[in-house]
Amino acid sequence: MKMTGAQIICDCLVKEGVDTIFGILGGAILPLYDTLPQFPQLHHVLVRHEQCAAHAAEGYARASGRVGVCFATSGPGATNLVTGIANAHLDSSPVVAITGQVARRFIGKDAFQEIDITGITLPITKHNYLVRDTNQLARVVKEAFYIARTGRPGPVLIDVPKDVFQEQVEYHAPGKVELRSYRPSIKVNIPQIQKAAKFISAAQKPVILAGRGVILSGASEELKTLAETAQIPVVTTLLGISSFPESHVLSYRWLGMHGMAYANMAINNSDLIIAIGMRFDDRATAEVNGFAPHAKIIHIDIDPAEIGKNVAVDVPIVGDVKAVLTPLLKLITPAEHVDWLKQLDTWRREHPSTEIRESSSILPQYVVKSIYEATGGDATIVTGVGQNQMWAAQYYTYNKPNTFISSGGLGTMGFGLPASVGVKIGRPDAQVWVVDGDGSFQMTLHELATIQQERLAIKIAIMNNGFLGMVRQWQELFHGKRYVATPLWGPDFVKLAEAYGIPAVLVRRKEQVIPAIQQAIAHEGPYVIDFGIEPEENVYPMVPPGASLAQVLEAPKKEEAVWPR
């Protein structure tokens, strides 16, 4: 059968189970868009900026467990994808980006809207392709999906010249992918697992440190069984939030720069860290030389490059989390760590970390807690980046797997709104809330148009403090309160939402908070709430730059200096 390159791509996408594509068209990719009506199985979501196409594709991937797909044209269309691709790369999200390129005869001649997008994205993709031979398209698409979803997931980019979309060739659906240079390990090392079991049996103060790899592997039940059988407390990373139910008696929430003080204390005093599906990034470890000074470390991760990269480990285990925990559980015997758990509970009482003080003004902590109570903890929370992200992580209790979706490694402001588009499409029956700051929200607020166009019932809580809040907090604590370029003028978000046809409400009094949230939930479509929060509220706990987890700062009393002490 003869098909154009564009038809081949669309047919391959259908065969890969793709049902949704996020993107914006342009000249070089127009032949692919012209072909989409021939494939009604593919629903295209028109975003308002290519960066948002990549974020939406990642949100879809993270919510659905499938590969997210985005399209962009050549030149600025392709370069606008870069931030979203980088975000997916650092957070291990399976995304396939297909970009248009100038026709083959113009490549290398600085043609209109020509850019070397494969060169640009080489460091931030798991792999990428420039397809010059139309006969190779079907193979490339199948390989791209295979690479994106296997091993440690990540983004793959396929750059396609305009005339390759248009050229007709004989189409044969490719068979099984065989790549000599890419063979993700599927076998687990049983002797290493046996060694880990012995370390666990001998430990007196063990802590499980769970990351996003638990969620990617679908191993939350195995994690729970391990913790309950061996009575081991569980701490998570920021992106590991929701891998273990936070209401569980063995949950000590999350650690790191703005994690729970008692979680940091647990790590600092442990004699064994069982790190599962995490990469010991600096936001989790703080000053690495002071990380877990008394502990031996077991590290389970699918990516061998992550083991030993930042922290020396005693028992390295390469493999998918679920594939490793399954045989490990057979070797774990029931245990009790009564004294250790009592000590952790004492620290949790003495250093509560998430108490909300009394205030007549609107505190962001109170807003997030109110959203939690109004939703019964049964929502998927998507965040921007900044103080809003930390408050959403601290004051919503996550008991269901994969219900906290945020930008971790890249820390991308503006992630929340476009990612929620993909999350809601990938998880249509879920109640989806965006918790954003006024600064982060303004970076991608145009996606309100996409939300309205797609009729997505996304609820949006804007924490409006009139600042770029996290940077302002650093300026207050470490730069003599010199607020340079952080005071932030913003539009009337209510009028703005209404201009997009979305109902909205302004909340400026504490007693309005809960009714506004209930009103948003009751409304069948999208809804925006502009919460005017305390302008100079800070995020605590906080580990200062250059400090160790043991040097965590807690919310100060009025008479206390914050830093340095």
Active-site amino acid positions = 50, 112-113, 162, 470
3-class DSSP state for residue 493?
A: helix
Tokens 């007709």 belong to: 168
Q: For residue 527, give the 3-state DSSP assignment.
A: strand
- HSE at residue 471, side-chain half, CA atoms within 13 A, is 16
Among 426, 414, 458, 428, which residue's Cα sits nearest to residue 61?
426
CA torsion, ordered 63, 65, 71, 75, to nearest 10 deg: 90
Question: Residue 489 burial by CB count (10 A; 0-12/13-18/19+): exposed, middle or buried?
Answer: exposed
- The amino acid present at 89, given as its one-letter code, is H
Token pair in block for residue 462? 């804007």
Task: Give the integer Cα–Cα distance in Å for 436 and 419.
Answer: 12
Determine which helix (DSSP H) or strand (DSSP E) holds 42, and give its type and residue range: none
The gap from C-alpha 481 to its chain's centroid, in whole angstroms, comes to: 31
What distance in Å separates the CA atoms of residue 523 and residue 468, rounded to the nearest whole number? Answer: 30
Q: Give every CB contact of residue 113 below 8 A, 6+ residues apart in sequence.
A: 26, 27, 28, 73, 74, 75, 76, 77, 102
Residues 235 and 254 sit within 8 Å (Cβ to Cβ) = yes
Residues in CB range of 442: below 8 A, 6 or more apart: 488, 490, 491
- Assess contact for 432 and 400: CB atoms under 8 A: no
Question: How many angstroms from the chain centroid is the CA of residue 487?
Answer: 27
